[in-house]
Amino acid sequence: MLSATELELLMQNVVFAHQETCQFRQENLQILRWETFTPEEMQSLQQKPMDQMWERCVCHITDAIQYIVEFAKRLSGFMDLNPNDQIVLLKAGAMELLLIRMSRAFNWYNSTVFFEGKYAQLELFHSLGCHDLISSMFEFCQSLCALNLSEHEMAFFSAMTLLDPSLHWLQERHKVDTLYRKIHLAFRNLLQRTHREFILTKLPEKEKLSSICQLHLEKLNIFRQMYPSIAWERFPPLYKELFI
Ligand code: CLR
């Protein structure tokens, strides 16, 4: 299906697309890994009103999603899909890819995540009022971090998660399917070369990712019922376009 050169080019494409759009370089995230919030800073954030904290988090998430959209655009073949299908894939995949990327910004040793320049414990997000969502996000990162994925592997896992040919509403499913298969092949090839094939069976299941994303949508709905005007007026357009 693919020649050796094609495989090589595809591999470079996926890896570069990730590297060029990853928002924070792995080295920099590593350096800051032990910079945590002080108890006073934690307390002050925990006491913020719910709507303010939501707005803040949603803005950061949207920034991160802008990079994810850029990643998608740089994947060879994505821009050749029809615009409807591009939107279908991003609506379903943006939050999933955010979760995968969150694991790069997660310190496995003390269960903290990079937030506004430092590493934050789960409790910091208390005022959002969605403990079950945040704790499943943290749990997911904990288990993904345990696989110690390289940046190359992370790039491929992201691309395969995004190009899900099984999604409803795709108009040109065969195109997405072909792209998915090619990337899968290149991923296998990379893993063979690095003797890491075993990770294919250990990667989180699609259902796990989509159930967390579903929970995010449910929490957003509850928030919108409580603060309709905040969600409408203060959430960034891209966030609303994808999730509302
Ligand atoms: C993910 C990786 C990106 C940079 C980035 C930006 C915003 C971060 C996000 C990462 C991880 C998850 C995060 C988010 C801001 C708020 C959110 C810390 C590090 C927490 C878990 C709260 C989520 C609450 C909403 C769903 C309401 O490159």
Q: Which residue from 133, 148, 135 is spatially nearest to 194, judged by alpha carbons?
A: 148
Query: Closest Cα to atom 3, ligand 1: which residue?
Result: 64
Average pLDDT over residues 196-200: 97
CA of 102 to the centre of ligand 1 (A): 7
Q: Which residue from 70, 60, 62 is spatially nearest to 16, judged by alpha carbons?
A: 70
- Provide the β-strand partners of residue 107: 112
Show the ligand 1 pocket: residues with CB < 6 angstroms. Answer: 23-24, 54, 57, 60-61, 64, 98, 101-102, 105, 113-115, 125, 128, 134, 137, 216
Average pLDDT of the residues of the chain:
97
Report pLDDT digits (tens) over 86-118.
Answer: 999 999 999 999 999 999 999 999 999 999 999
CA of 27 to the centre of ligand 1 (A): 19
Quick one: pLDDT band at residue 186, thresholds 50, 70, 90?
A: very high
Angle at 60 between CA 55 and CA 64, to 5 degrees: 145
Report pLDDT digits (tens) over 155-166.
Answer: 999 999 999 999
Give me the pLDDT at residue 110, please.
98
For 2, the 3-state DSSP assignment is: coil
Closest atom of ligand 1 to CA, residue 120: 18
What gap in Å lies between CA 199 and CA 136, rounded to an integer? 22
Average pLDDT over residues 186-196: 97
Q: DSSP letters along 7-64, please?
A: HHHHHHHHHHHHHHT-SS-HHHHHHTTT-B--HHHHHHHHTS-HHHHHHHHHHHHHHH
Report pLDDT digits (tens) over 203-233.
Answer: 999 999 999 999 999 999 999 999 999 999 9
pTM: 0.98
Average pLDDT over residues 160-173: 97
Phi/psi at 119 (5° precision): -95, 130
Q: Where do the H-state alpha helices sit in 75-150?
A: 83-102, 131-145
Q: Where do the H-state alpha helices sit in 118-227?
A: 131-145, 151-162, 173-194, 199-202, 206-226
Average pLDDT over residues 23-40: 97
Give me the pLDDT at residue 1, please.
77
**Distances from the Cα of 139 to the Cα of 111, 112, 197, angstroms:** 9, 11, 24
What gap in Å lies between CA 37 and CA 118, rounded to an integer? 7
Tokens describing residue 28: 């920099």
Closest atom of ligand 1 to CA, residue 101: 2
pLDDT at 137 over 80: yes
Quick one: pLDDT band at residue 130, thresholds 50, 70, 90?
A: very high
